[in-house]
Amino acid sequence: MSAPAHVVGGGFAGAAAAVALARRGVPVVLWEARAAWGGRVASFTDARSGERLDNGPHLFLGCYARTRALLAELGTGHLLSFQPTLHLPRFDAGRAAALHCPELPAPWFLVGGLLGLPLTWADRLRLLAAGHAIRRPVAPGLSVASWLAAIGAPAASIPLLWGPLCRAIMNLEPAEADAGAFAAALREGLGGTAADACLGWSRVPLGDLLEAVLEDRLARAGGTVRHRRVARVVLDGDRVTGLATGDGETVPARRVILATGPAHLQRLLPAHPALQGVRQQVAALGAAPIVSVYLWFDRPVAPMGESPFVGLAGGRVEWLFDRDRMAGRTAGPGQRLAAVISAADAVADWDDARLVAATLDDMAVHLPAARGIRPAHSRVIRERRATVRLAPGVDRPRPGAVAGVDGLYLCGDYTDTGLPATIEGAVRSGEAAAAALATCGHLY
């Protein structure tokens, strides 16, 4: 049996890398600093309610092919539910403005959906032409806002469609986000089959998608897991020779995939001129926050229709999720909601009370039953480094799978996947790093 490969970080990128190596018969040691798997797709127990909450609601897309394959291999793929057709319900001051795509083959499902938006006929036709333009290459360095202007997207469609999509996909406002990564995500999500475009969610706490099953899968291929913090990669000249742990041990390691987020990566990389470029690339990326506000009400306040989530127009809260509907349960007498504020730079430093009040204010604009009501319990979660900040022209500074010294590989949603920082990008990057490691024959 060959010497083990080490994967540092048990988020979706690290899990995908470890499973891909196990599939190739490479024994893996998977290191994770925290007690739980999943990284930024995580769950924890809320002390007051006793319920397992996620670090924020996550949506999957039908086109997350590698993520779905990973979860299917781990035996948890069936815990995701997907819409039968793309449906983006949205409360807009009393009007239910929704992108609802009919169950038709591509591209007619999208044509039908776009034509149903509350726009003038002239704007609908302009929107169709703009929708067609997502297939064309995007000039480097453009922001989403400039790109939308260049492809002739009508102004009225920005708050209705493109703005919410940009904040959901890029976690940035259209003026701040890179058009190349946004268009790549749209091409995959909307430019494929009708099933690719459907949104999905987990019926169980997100942490359960990897918990236990990941360890079992690796163990079957002779791998092990270690819940310990790795402090640094150890080099001898230009070659990786070990991993120094947080408690002072150095473990021999010749092949290492670093699957941490970009902030942690900076601390793990040893001082070596060949790694300077990666350091600078990662430092240039920056981070964008997401705030989630969990609310427990003693009566229903948000009529969700058939959907487990609904958009709110015009305020700070982008999406409301009904947690019982997500779990496939009939709601009890009350309603348990999670409100998501994406691109949350302006509010991430607000205290909990102010964030809850702002969420209730946004709900009150659209939902009469929410006016004047106080939640029985609330819980605010700030993810300050939810995603990297993919600013215009960012593809140059994103590192690839090969780090620059012998035996060291990188993966994570921040790497050069061509996609925004998403679960699917993380999984693909993990598989790419595993392939790069496994094809370096001289290391065996």
Ligand X SMILES: Cc1cc2nc3c(=O)[nH]c(=O)nc-3n(C[C@H](O)[C@H](O)[C@H](O)COP(=O)(O)OP(=O)(O)OC[C@H]3O[C@@H](n4cnc5c(N)ncnc54)[C@H](O)[C@@H]3O)c2cc1C
Q: Which amino acid is located at 167 in the chain?
A: R
Q: Does 329 help bind ligand X (rule: CB under 6 A)?
A: no
Write out the two tokens for 111. Answer: 């044509």
| Burial (Cβ within 10 Å: 0-12, 13-18, ≥19) of residue 271 | exposed
Q: Taking Cα atoms as reference points, which of 125, 165, 124, 160 lies closest to residue 144?
A: 165
Q: Does 311 help bind ligand X (rule: CB under 6 A)?
A: no
Contact characters 405-424, ligand X, x per CB under 6 A? -------xx-------xxxx
For residue 408, the minimal CB distance to ligand X (Å) is 14
Strand duo 28-31 + 5-8: pairing = parallel
Kindly tell me which of 56 and 242 has the beta carbon lying closer to ligand X: 56
Instruction: Tell me the C-alpha distance between 84 and 79, whole Å.
Output: 16
Instruction: Tell me the C-alpha distance between 50 and 59, whole Å.
Output: 24
| Angle at the Cα of 414 from the Cα atoms of 409 and 416, rounded to 5 degrees | 65
How many residues are present in the chain?
A: 444
Kindly tell me which of 100 and 226 has the beta carbon lying closer to ligand X: 226
For residue 118, the minimal CB distance to ligand X (Å) is 25
Binder of ligand X out of 6, 31, 190, 198 (CB under 6 A): 31
Burial 227-265 (b: 16+ CB within 10 A, else e): ebbbbbbbbeeeebbbbbbeeeeebebbbbbbbbbbebb
Binder of ligand X out of 123, 362, 383, 406 (CB under 6 A): 383
Contact characters 241-270, ligand X, x per CB under 6 A? ------------------xxx--x---x--
Q: Does 34 help bind ligand X (rule: CB under 6 A)?
A: yes
- C-alpha 337: how far from chain center: 20
Q: Does 30 help bind ligand X (rule: CB under 6 A)?
A: no
Q: Does 387 help bind ligand X (rule: CB under 6 A)?
A: yes
Range 57-116, binding ligand X (CB under 6 A) = 58-59
For residue 31, the minimal CB distance to ligand X (Å) is 5
First to last CA, the chain: 10
Count Cβ atoms below 10 Å from residue 79 Cβ, excluding itself: 15
Q: CB under 6 A: which stretch of 30-38, 139-147, 208-216, 432-440 binds ligand X? A: 30-38
Binder of ligand X out of 170, 186, 312, 386 (CB under 6 A): 386
Q: CB under 6 A: which stretch of 5-13, 86-94, 112-120, 216-224 binds ligand X? A: 5-13
Kindly tell me which of 18 and 130 has the beta carbon lying closer to ligand X: 18
Give contact residues for ligand X (rule: CB under 6 A).
8-14, 31-34, 39-41, 55-56, 58-59, 229-230, 259-261, 264, 268, 290, 292, 383, 386-387, 412-413, 421-424, 426
